[in-house]
């Protein structure tokens, strides 16, 4: 999620339905939207128990607070507590989240993925600040209800104080570049090697969350199968400039601009996004622990 969170004030987010999506349906189904809206409400209300209850048992969160990845068990609880401690340490108060209609979403069977434009207002040492970006959610249906599997924060801007440039940024970015290069080249083994054994990847094709064991391998194989089923060819991603690179000890969080181009028949298409990566430093160098795709716009390529 956002830069710092202090969940002390409740302001209900506008429960808007999407006017645009990655599927033909005109609006994200209300039962799928409900846990997203509830996440905003419980976070703003400081309702720790209520927020935790919205997640599946293996739920996880990604944010720009070290260690950046909050995985199972108790991922939601660790995120909530870590955010509160970080906010207190950085003199940040009165944090309020507001969301609008999902920019893109997919629902497939009992799984869903959504990219939700988000703003976060907070006070730093008495001065109002604002962060903007997108929350990326994956969800699973549990009986008659939907639950959150993952939440990831893709930050676009923040008016508040930012950390000094990370000394390890070049090595961190090199690992991400290697991952993208391997994927573009169809080098499955190199894609897997760029990730940790427990890596989890979130993307816009079913089942949307690819978790351990063998998360990177499942993502790679499912992506190829999805492209084949939609008659997509020549797909390749291009990385742009980093938006944020945070490094704390052996952990890193990166938001970076990226384009994905592919062809359907004789027409080229392009998706513009801001994927979020978390990484950890191992004896073999930096490795990716999560990647979440935040799709921001899509159109035929010019």
Evaluate whether residue 248 is within a structural domain: yes
CB-based burial, 96-132: b 16+ in 10 Å, e otherwise? bbbbebbbbbbbeeebbbbbbbbbbbbbbeeeebbbb
| pLDDT grade for 132, boundaries at 50, 70 and 90 | very high
The pLDDT of residue 302 is 52
Residue 143 and residue 34 in one domain: yes
Calpha distance 80→96 (Å, rounded)? 14
Q: Is residue 23 part of a domain?
A: no
> Per the domain annotation, does 14 fall within a domain?
no
Residue in this structure with the two tokens 């909050």, named with its chain if needed: 70
pLDDT at 27: 85
Answer whether residue 15 is part of any domain.
no
Last residue of one domain, picked from the residues 106, 130, 158:
158
More confident residue, 5 or 281: 281
What's the distance, CA 29 to chain centroid?
21
Range from 12-16, 93-97, 115-119 carrying the lowest mean pLDDT = 12-16
Task: Tell me the C-alpha distance between 197 and 176, whole Å.
Answer: 16
Asked whether the predicted pLDDT for residue 68 surpasses 90, the reply is yes
Is residue 258 located within the same domain as residue 174?
yes
Mean local confidence (pLDDT), 243-265: 96
Q: Find tokens 């090199």 and name the residue.
A: 174
For residues 186-200, give the mean pLDDT.
98
| 154 and 214 co-located in one domain | no
Neighbouring-strand partners of residue 146: 141
Among residues 107, 133, 158, which one ends one of the domains?
158
Query: What pTM did the predictor assign?
Result: 0.90
Any idea what the CATH number is for the domain that residue 83 is in? 3.10.450.50
The domain of 256 spans 169-300
CA distance 5 to 81: 10
Residues 143 and 190 in one domain: no
Burial of 94 (0-12, 13-18, 19+ CB in 10 A): middle
């Amino acid at each position: 999620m956002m830069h710092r969170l202090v969940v002390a004030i409740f302001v209900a987010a506008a429960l808007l339905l999407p006017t645009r999506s990655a599927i033909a349906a005109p609006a994200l189904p209300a039962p799928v939207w409900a846990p997203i809206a509830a996440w905003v409400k419980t976070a703003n209300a400081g309702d720790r128990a209520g927020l935790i209850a919205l997640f599946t048992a293996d739920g996880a969160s990604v944010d720009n607070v070290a260690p950046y990845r909050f995985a199972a068990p108790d991922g939601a609880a660790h995120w909530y507590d870590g955010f509160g401690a970080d906010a207190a340490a950085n003199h940040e108060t009165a944090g309020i989240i507001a969301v609008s209609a999902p920019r893109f979403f997919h629902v497939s069977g009992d799984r869903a993925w959504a990219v939700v434009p988000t703003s976060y207002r907070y006070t730093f040492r008495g001065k109002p600040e604002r962060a903007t970006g997108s929350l990326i959610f994956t969800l699973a249906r549990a009986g008659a209800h939907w639950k959150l599997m993952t939440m990831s924060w893709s930050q676009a801007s923040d008016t508040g104080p930012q950390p000094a440039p990370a000394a390890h940024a070049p090595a961190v970015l090199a690992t991400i570049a290697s991952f993208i290069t391997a994927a573009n080249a169809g080098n499955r083994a190199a894609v897997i090697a760029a990730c940790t054994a427990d890596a989890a990847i979130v993307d816009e094709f079913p089942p949307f969350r690819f978790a351990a064991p063998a998360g990177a391998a499942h993502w790679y194989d499912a992506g190829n199968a999805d492209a084949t089923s939609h008659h997509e060819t020549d797909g390749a991603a291009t990385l742009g400039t980093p938006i944020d690179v945070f490094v704390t000890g052996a952990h890193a969080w990166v938001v970076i601009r990226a384009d994905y181009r592919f062809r359907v028949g004789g027409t080229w298409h392009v998706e513009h996004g801001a994927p979020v990566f978390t990484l950890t430093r191992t004896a073999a160098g930096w490795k990716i622990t999560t990647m979440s795709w935040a799709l921001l716009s899509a159109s035929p390529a010019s």
